[in-house]
């Protein structure tokens, strides 16, 4: 992408809904709209509780600044795709209202990770549907279409959006991949400030193939939400019992294993709570049986479709 003086350096998250066809099949547009509205509202309500809009003492200046940065993040929902983005210039403008000197990149990246993680957890909790995506930092150009064209909408042209969409394709499993350059920036800032807070230190995980992804369970280390985890665990149990295409079943197996590793970690950290009920026991025989059931169900559907087409 060629440089433009009007492009903004922007953090972009591209999130794909895994199972959108079933949502469309089982919901009316109004029902799905109402559900999305509730999810966005709960996300904002939760974040407002963590970072209130108003402050009463000078000691809460940081929280006020954080609240304004969170409110600057924008959402777009197009069919099965969520686009969240935060312009770095807006972060700088907000920070300058509260501080003479502050690292703007650190503020933007940490808070963007936080709101994406919050949204993903609440979305899964409310819908029982998984998300997959990517997060990137780069150029983002947006402007309304001119009135003379008699078009109502926005024109978006962005290398950051393209990069985030490409990461979504690479993710395969229900996770949010992080662009390598963005990871290096996050790592540099973390080491520079010697940050050891749990909600920063564990924000990004690395898989066996060397890919970095947002560990959206990380924010629960500081702001534990047992109800969210309980409902997510129940969605996993139900989804693994349902008949579904093999590729979808595999994604739920991956997510169950990911969930279990995080529950095991929380169980060690939070000695005051018994979280064993959130741990989803693995049973190899049952997994194989369910896998074969999904396989033969998919084969039967394919055969029936072929038979119908030959009639």
CATH architecture of residue range(s) 1-218: 2-Layer Sandwich (3.30)
Q: For residues 217-241, give the mean pLDDT.
A: 88
DSSP letters along 5-49, please? TT-EEEEEEEEEEETHHHHHHHS-HHHHHHHHHHHHHHHHHHHHH
pLDDT recorded at residue 57: 63
pLDDT band for position 59 (cuts 50, 70, 90): low
pLDDT recorded at residue 235: 94
Its sign, for the CA torsion 115, 121, 123, 126, is negative
User: Does the pLDDT of residue 254 top 80, yes or no?
Assistant: yes
Q: For residues 66-80, give the mean pLDDT.
A: 86
CA terminus-to-terminus distance, the chain: 51
CA 267/CA 154 separation, integer angstroms:
47
The rounded percent of the chain whose pLDDT value lies above 70 is 80
pLDDT digits 0-9 by tens, 179-216: 999 999 998 887 776 655 555 668 899 998 899 999 99
* 169: number of Cβ within 10 Å: 12
User: Does the pLDDT of residue 96 top 80, yes or no?
Assistant: yes
pLDDT band for position 230 (cuts 50, 70, 90): very high
How far is Cα of residue 197 from the mean position of the Cα atoms in its chain?
21
Give the CA angle between residues 50, 53, 55 to the nearest 5°: 95
pLDDT digits 0-9 by tens, 18-58: 988 878 888 888 988 898 899 988 888 888 777 665 656 66
221 near 275, Cβ under 8 Å?
A: no
Question: Going along the chain, which residue ranges are E strands?
Answer: 8-18, 74-78, 81-87, 130-144, 154-157, 176-178, 204-206, 212-214
pLDDT recorded at residue 41: 86
- The burial class, CB within 10 Å (0-12 / 13-18 / 19+), for 231 is middle
Q: For residues 154-172, give the mean pLDDT.
A: 93
pLDDT recorded at residue 47: 80
User: Dihedral, CA atoms, 218, 71, 55, 120, nearest 10 degrees?
Assistant: -20
């Amino acid at each position: 992408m060629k440089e433009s003086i009007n492009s903004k350096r922007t953090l972009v998250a591209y999130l794909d809904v895994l199972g959108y066809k079933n949502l469309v099949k089982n919901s009316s547009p109004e029902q799905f709209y109402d559900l999305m509205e509730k999810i966005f509202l709960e996300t904002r309500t939760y974040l407002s509780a963590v970072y209130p809009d108003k402050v009463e003492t000078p000691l809460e200046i940081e929280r006020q600044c954080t609240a304004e940065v969170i409110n600057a993040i924008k959402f777009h929902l197009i069919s099965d795709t969520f686009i969240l983005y935060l312009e770095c210039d807006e972060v700088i403008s907000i920070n300058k209202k509260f501080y003479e000197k502050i690292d703007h990149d650190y503020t933007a990246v940490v808070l963007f990770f936080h709101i994406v993680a919050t949204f993903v957890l609440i979305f899964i909790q409310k819908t029982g549907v998984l998300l997959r995506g990517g997060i990137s930092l780069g150029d983002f150009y947006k402007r309304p279409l001119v009135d003379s064209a008699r078009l109502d909408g926005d024109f978006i042209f962005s290398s950051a959006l393209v990069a985030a969409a490409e990461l979504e394709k690479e993710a395969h499993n229900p996770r949010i991949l992080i662009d390598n350059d963005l990871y290096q920036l996050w790592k540099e800032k973390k080491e520079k400030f010697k940050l050891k807070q749990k909600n920063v230190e564990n924000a990004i995980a690395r898989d066996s193939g060397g890919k970095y992804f947002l560990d959206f369970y990380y924010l629960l280390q500081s702001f534990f939400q047992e109800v969210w985890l309980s409902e997510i665990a129940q969605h996993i149990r139900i989804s693994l019992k349902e008949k579904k295409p093999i590729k979808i079943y595999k994604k739920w197996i991956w997510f169950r294993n990911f969930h279990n590793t995080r529950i095991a970690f929380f169980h060690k950290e939070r000695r005051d709570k018994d979280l064993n009920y959130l741990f989803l026991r693995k049973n190899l025989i049952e997994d194989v049986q369910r896998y074969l059931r999904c396989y033969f169900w998919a084969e039967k559907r394919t055969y029936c479709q072929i038979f119908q087409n030959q009639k």
